[in-house]
Copies of this chain bind each other. A is one copy, B any other.
Amino acid sequence: MSKVKVGVVGFGTIGERIADGLAAQEDMELVGVCDVAVSLPVKALIVSGKGYPLYCGTPDKVKDLEAGGATVAGTLDDLLKQVDMVCDATAPGVGAKLKEQYEAHGVKATFQGGEKIGTGDLQFHSLANYDKAYGKDYLHILSCNTTGMARCINSIDRAIGVERVNAMIIRRAADVAETHKGPVDAAIVQKVPSHQCEDIMAVSPHIKALSVVVTLPITHGHVQTLQVHCKQDTSKEQILEIFGQNPRLQIFRIEDGFLSNSHIFDYCRDLGLPRADMYECPVWDEMIHVEGREVWFTQMIPQESIVIPENVDGVRAAMKMQDDYADAIAETNKYLKMGGKV
């Protein structure tokens, strides 16, 4: 079987990670990546010798890329001529504009969570609505926080049924190099409900959700506390079993020394993971609490890397690579070597 040909448009924090994730899929071929300037991720691509062909978003920027030391393989149009599908990881608003260009080339696309609702044919999470996305052209991947929510909620939902979710989200203020973003010493509040619960209800219409978001001065991951109201009584043991069966979730114990999100990040450095990234969501064992049908748990969302598996799944769904969600997810997981971090 011939490989599905893919590209990545926008080579920033998310785009560079999607590129690595796609490159690892043995049934896909990463034809190239595309950007318009020698940002630090592009510079690192050049220096690291990773070798992804670099395309330039617009012809007038080719000179800039070359001045920055890049070898330019062509323009975005050149890339679009060669691929079946792209993962668009451009800045919010840009993807919506580029969609026309993708359409002109008959190229499918995933868009990221920051893109405006309506850009894709539907909002997508592989565990929630893979079947609805199957064969579609434009998939809107959930944002990082919502992706993490969907993973565990839908794991429980598929096992014992979920009626309701309340999420309290501690949002990391900035990625490591986003030094222009604050706060320095504050908890920034926002109107309730936040968008995350809307997005959950978009991919899982039978689940009612509410989310509250407060932004805090940390960089190594969001931290969510979720309260899930199940359709039946459950137990911590059962929840651990359900989570244990999803390799995109990983149980960490405070007792082992995982005292914070930053401990987990630092542990990933020691594990030798590229960029110290995890594709999994860490869930703290000692923070799982069950009373009858109510389940509480707290998980970390590695905001830079968490949506990579779901972008890959999106390619599988749109390109009809696997009929069944479970097969698609298993395939993605296999190539990303998910699970087994602790």
Residues of A within 8 A of B (CB): 16, 38-41, 43-45, 47-48, 50, 166, 168, 170, 173-193, 210, 212, 214, 216-221, 223, 225, 227, 254, 256-263, 265-267, 269-272, 274-276, 284, 286-289, 291, 296, 298, 300, 340-342
Nearest neighbor of A193 in chain B, beta-carbon distance? B289
CA distance A256 to B269 in the complex (A): 26
- Taking a contact as CB atoms under 8 Å apart, the answer to whether B262 and A192 are in contact is no
- Residues of B near A173 (CB, < 8 A) are 182, 184
CA distance A186 to B177 in the complex (A): 8
- Taking a contact as CB atoms under 8 Å apart, the answer to whether B174 and A220 are in contact is no
- Residues of B near A269 (CB, < 8 A) are 176, 274-276
Q: A170-B170, A187-B260 are in contact. List 15 more A-B contacts (CB 8 A).
A: A40-B266, A44-B270, A47-B340, A47-B342, A168-B212, A173-B184, A175-B266, A176-B220, A180-B182, A184-B219, A185-B219, A192-B286, A216-B217, A217-B218, A272-B275
Q: State the copy count for this chain.
A: 4
- Taking a contact as CB atoms under 8 Å apart, the answer to whether B257 and A43 are in contact is yes
- Residues of B near A166 (CB, < 8 A) are 166, 227, 296
- Taking a contact as CB atoms under 8 Å apart, the answer to whether A220 and B170 are in contact is no
Nearest neighbor of A50 in chain B, beta-carbon distance? B272
- Residues of B near A188 (CB, < 8 A) are 179, 259-260
- Taking a contact as CB atoms under 8 Å apart, the answer to whether B184 and A218 are in contact is yes
CA distance A227 to B341 in the complex (A): 34
- Taking a contact as CB atoms under 8 Å apart, the answer to whether B187 and A185 are in contact is no
Nearest neighbor of A175 in chain B, beta-carbon distance? B266
CA distance A94 to B168 in the complex (A): 36
10 nearest A-B residue pairs (beta carbon): A44-B270, A186-B262, A179-B183, A168-B168, A186-B260, A269-B275, A177-B266, A185-B185, A176-B266, A191-B286
